[in-house]
Structure 1
Amino acid sequence: MQISIVIPLLNEKESLTELHDWIASVMQSNHFVYEVIFIDDGSTDGSWQSIQALAQKNSNVKGIQFLRNYGKSQALHAGFHAAQGEVVITMDADLQDNPEEIPELYKMIKEEGYHIVSGWKKKRYDSVIAKNLPSKLFNWAARRTSGVRLHDFNCGLKAFDQMVVKNIEVSGDMHRYIPVLAKNAGFSKITEKVVQHQARKYGHTKFGAERFINGFLDLITIWFVSKFGRQPMHLFGALGVFMFVVGFGFSLYLGIDKLFLNPTGRLITERPQFYIALTAMIIGTQLFLAGFLGEIMVRSRKNDTRYNISNKINV
């Protein structure tokens, strides 16, 4: 199979038929062998019934229904697991991503050899204050922190080589950082393509301002995990040793001062340096133990189920 199109959605019933027909037209005109995988992330508006109807009409349509809303990352994870295409395209279900971009994205993966091609919505139709400015700040921080030079990490329209989606773990709210996860996994051929952004035709956005706060927190998490996730002792152990040495240094100073320099002075317990030394050594010991526990957890970690599927179609 040439192309798998993975579409996570939440309450997008009004747009599904139009989106399907648009995708089918593009696929047929380019003679692609394809599948469309809709992942219903706990919709309550009848989206699943629309997917069932589309699957009856077109055998290339596949569906996965979650038992409840688990989030876009979990939906993408399920879609990636089910995808069989050589190239995997992700896009949103709200008709803001243009399926006409798919042939060029496919070509950039298969013929030009990129691992990931990320869409860049250079001209947007979102609110400047509500989405554009926070998005620019978010993307700047993501570029600086991750080293991945993309203008639009949030764009849902992306193309992946199959090897990428089968070898990365998308969890939490990490869907924004799939290119970063891929880079950390060794897939370094990442580029972007300017894509057409369209105004939302139906419904309203499912993401509020809190997604940017969560995005920055996730950025810190992914930075930490990429650097120390496999060997947490390198961070916690180093900090623990540093704190313990500081505390031990203060203790040594207090002991020498009391025994040789000022034996008739204040008791050691009456001096503030004593409490600094005690606190530093306790913190150092705790950090060191945290590093040990982290190493044990990394080595004993097993894959856990992050979502429950209630129904499948053609999968």
Structure 2
Amino acid sequence: MDEISQSTTIELQSPIVCPIELSLVVPTFNEVDNILPLIEKVECLLDGTINWELIFVDDNSPDGTSETVRAIAQRNRHIRVVQRVGRRGLSSAVVEGILASSASVIGVMDADMQHDENILPLLWKAVAQDGFDLAVASRYADGGGMGEWNQRRQSISRGATWLATFVLKVPVSDPMSGFFVISRQAFMASLPKLSTIGFKILVDILASAPRRPSIKEVPYEFRARKFGSSKLDSAVEWEYIVLLTDKLLGRFFPIRFILFSFVGSIGVIVHLSALGVSLNLFGMRFIVAQSIAVLTAMTFNFLVNNFLTYRDRRLRGVKLLYGLFSFYVVCLIGAAANVGVGAYIYNAQWTWWLAGIAGAAVGAVWNYAVSAAFTWKK
């Protein structure tokens, strides 16, 4: 036994001959056609110069992306896959990929072949050898470009960049870039405050850093996508606004609570509209009309919160129906708490409007906290 233990200790203490120098994290969703071309380009570029690993983090793509990467990994020791089930989102995928990596220098790039992999050695050198915390591939630095983007998309990108610069107060020309290399030390410093909301992980890292990182920018020309479809839509733009709001106000209030309350305020309008239509258009009795209005408002609040507030935990199919039922139960109990607290304060000789506000506040907090735990639980 002692000999076995001693042998194991010697084996564990033996030096690593070729440590990983660059862990490249690539988040994916339905990118099966881009996997092999990307691996071939990275392999051709880095083999013999940098000891690397390529980690694909796939959100359970229905097109077989995970299976494709896993098959390649069987014969290529540089390749790994992290397959996520029940979780969505580029930023959170990048975080999981970095935490699953081993190198002290980590790169992040998209799988869609729009990032110019040829500048990877320059990005790596800036961090690994020149001592920068972060090296950003920039479309806006001198020598960079937006490629074939039309004027509308360029205007949206520049507007989003201006907003990020306003929030971050960090001198970087392309904070929206999804192509960068960062030291593990700099990433781990930002990790505790990361929001992991949406697609712009670099904005999140910069806004969460405890100190201003040293940054090197490397220009590149953004390329057109050849395979697959773009993930950019109005929901992505909404998530970006949510991320910036979280970076501005998140230290005071949870961003989900802000969104939940915003949706609830719109739900009041929906409630009153449904009540007015039921009473005035259909001539229903008040108790019937009020019941319909309450049910309509709760359904509206659930669907909008499911799409926006809890987009990363969005319920679908049968789970959507179970979630709706649990939301009804939560809100009915919240309504009882609202009435109970309001009546207690009113009976204590406080003014009616203060009693109303207190009841509404208790109901809102209850609905948010309990629905997060039961309706949209992780």
Q: Which residue of 2 aligns with 1:151?
A: 173
Structure possessing the higher relative contact order (Cα contacts under 8 Å, 6 or more residues apart): 1
Shift of 1:179: 3.7
Q: Which residue of 2 aligns with 1:313?
A: none
Q: TM-score, normalised by structure 2?
A: 0.58
* Structure 1 position 12 matched with structure 2 position 38: no
Contact conserved, 2:161 with 2:174, CA < 8 A, in 1? yes
Q: Which residue of 1 aligns with 2:164?
A: 142
Shift of 1:157: 0.7
Q: TM-score, normalised by structure 1?
A: 0.69
After superposition, what is the alpha-carbon deviation per residue over 1:190-213, rounded to whole angstroms, capped at 9, x for unaligned? 342212311111121012133223
Name which of 117, 124, 134 aligns with 2:135. Answer: 117
Q: Which residue of 2 aligns with 1:177?
A: 203
Contact conserved, 2:197 with 2:239, CA < 8 A, in 1? no
Shift of 1:120: 1.0
Size of the aligned set, in residue pairs, is 245
Name which of 201, 207, 219 aligns with 1:194. Answer: 219
AA matched with 1:124 = M
Shift of 1:170: 4.9
Change (3 A) 1:221 1:201: same
Change (3 A) 1:172 1:179: closer
Distance 1:79 1:170 in 2: 16
Shift of 1:214: 2.4
Distance 1:113 1:56 in 2: 35
* Structure 1 position 51 matched with structure 2 position 77: no
Contact conserved, 1:12 with 1:47, CA < 8 A, in 2? yes
Distance 1:136 1:279 in 2: 49
Contact conserved, 1:105 with 1:117, CA < 8 A, in 2? yes
Shift of 1:17: 0.3
Contact conserved, 2:108 with 2:179, CA < 8 A, in 1? yes
Change (3 A) 1:2 1:176: closer
Q: Which residue of 1 aligns with 2:45?
A: 26
Distance 1:146 1:279 in 2: 43
Let me know the Cα RMSD of the aligned residues.
3.0
After superposition, what is the alpha-carbon deviation per residue over 1:245-268, rounded to whole angstroms, capped at 9, x for unaligned? xxxxxxxxxxxxxxxxxxxxxxxx
Change (3 A) 1:113 1:278: farther
Name which of 107, 114, 120 aligns with 1:96. Answer: 114
Name which of 131, 136, 153 aligns with 2:153. Answer: 131
Note the residue ranges of structure 2 that are not aligned, 5 or more in a row: 1-19, 255-349, 370-376
Change (3 A) 1:160 1:282: farther
Distance 2:352 2:158 in 1: 42
AA matched with 2:38 = L
Percent identity over the alignment is 20
Distance 2:60 2:66 in 1: 9
Distance 1:57 1:3 in 2: 20
After superposition, what is the alpha-carbon deviation per residue over 1:7-62, rounded to whole angstroms, capped at 9, x for unaligned? 000101111001001111111142x1111100111211111121012201211111
Shift of 1:280: 9.5
AA matched with 1:131 = R
Distance 2:91 2:352 in 1: 41
